[in-house]
Homo-oligomer: A and B are copies of this chain.
Amino acid sequence: MPDCHFEAILPSWLKEFFAEHSEALLSDSERMKFAIELARQNVINGTGGPFGAAVFERSSGNLVAVGVNLVVQSNCSHAHAEMLALAIAEHRLSSYTLNQPGFPGYELVSSSEPCAMCFGAIIWSGVTRLVCGASTIDAKHAGFDEGAKPEKWIAELENRGIEVATGICRNKACAVLQLYLDNGGVVYNGRAR
């Protein structure tokens, strides 16, 4: 009988990380630095690709969930930082959408602009805002294929009621992409290399 189970577990270094990052983060810049630090720790600890993401309550800045890229380490091509952060947020709130009536409103903060898959996942998640660091071009420049997003992907999100802010702490985000390459990290794109 084939397997009937799928599981992803975030790295154990997060325990210490959370202990040092427990305060509410109020600005885009603070939240983005947090997401970028997740990406950086993921590289430094050798636990995955140079991408980090977090779901915050928009108004309070309280952290709901985080994700880091675990594609290679967990043998799962869709274990992108955004996917894990969104799935864990929904699990924590016991809802398949973060846009339930009575919910305070949530945003996804990601160290890079989304790939084609995460673009779609953001729509289904019910977040009402997306905040991005490195651009699609930055990720491509580092060797990461982002897939084929609709040409006007930001407008597509905005048309569905999802605000988009791009280029937040972009240089810091790009520095983590470079760190990953400098460390000889695997650049995976649907084919083994």
Residue A95 lies at the interface, judged by CB distance under 8 Å to chain B:
yes
With both beta carbons as reference points, the residue of chain B lying nearest to A103 in the complex is identified as B192
Q: A10-B4, A88-B2 are in contact. Are A96 and B117 (CB under 8 A)?
A: no
Residue A78 lies at the interface, judged by CB distance under 8 Å to chain B:
yes
Number of copies: 2
Q: A2-B18, A65-B2, A96-B75 are in contact. Are A123 and B190 (CB under 8 A)?
A: yes
Q: Are B120 and A115 in contact (CB under 8 A)?
A: yes
A156 to chain B: which residues have CB within 8 Å?
148
A189 to chain B: which residues have CB within 8 Å?
124
A11 to chain B: which residues have CB within 8 Å?
4
Q: Are B2 and A192 in contact (CB under 8 A)?
A: no
Residue A183 lies at the interface, judged by CB distance under 8 Å to chain B:
no
